[in-house]
Amino acid sequence: MNRIEVNVQTGEQQIIELTPEEIAEIQSRPQPTPQPDYLAFWDALIDSSVYGSIRAQSMASLPINTLATEFIALIGDAKAGRANTAAIQASINAILSTGSFTPTDVQEFEVALVAGNLDGLYTLQ
């Protein structure tokens, strides 16, 4: 690892190798917590079997259609920076309890949550 020192008077740059102590100090710094990424979640979800199941069921069931519409609106708001976590959790719960989903569907929903760093915010019941 290196650092660059710049002489602001002359613009001269010098590459200096970091000492083992400097490297250790940098590596010991706390890492930032990954932020929720609703766009990554959505991208993963729409490529999953659970999305296909929700979509198929929403064509035949008004309750699932209504719940899916609400969920899509809530995720749209979250992607725009206005996440209502309580409403999103309630929406997830309602969809999963009202619809019919395979274990693979539920697993892929969880994978989508992980992809968006949302697995610490939401649970699948």
The pLDDT assigned to 125 comes to: 79
pLDDT tens by residue, 47-91 = 999 999 999 999 999 999 999 999 999 999 999 999 999 999 999
Residue 33 has a pLDDT of: 84
Judge contact between 95 and 71, C-beta under 8 A. Answer: yes
Residue 48 near residue 112, CB atoms below 8 Å: yes
According to the model, what pLDDT value does residue 31 have?
87
- Rounded to whole angstroms, the Cα distance separating 105 from 44 reads 12
pLDDT for the residue 46: 96
Give per-residue pLDDT as tens, 20-40.
999 999 999 998 888 999 999
- Write down the pTM of the prediction: 0.76
* Whole-Å CA distances, 122 to 7, 85, 106: 50, 8, 13
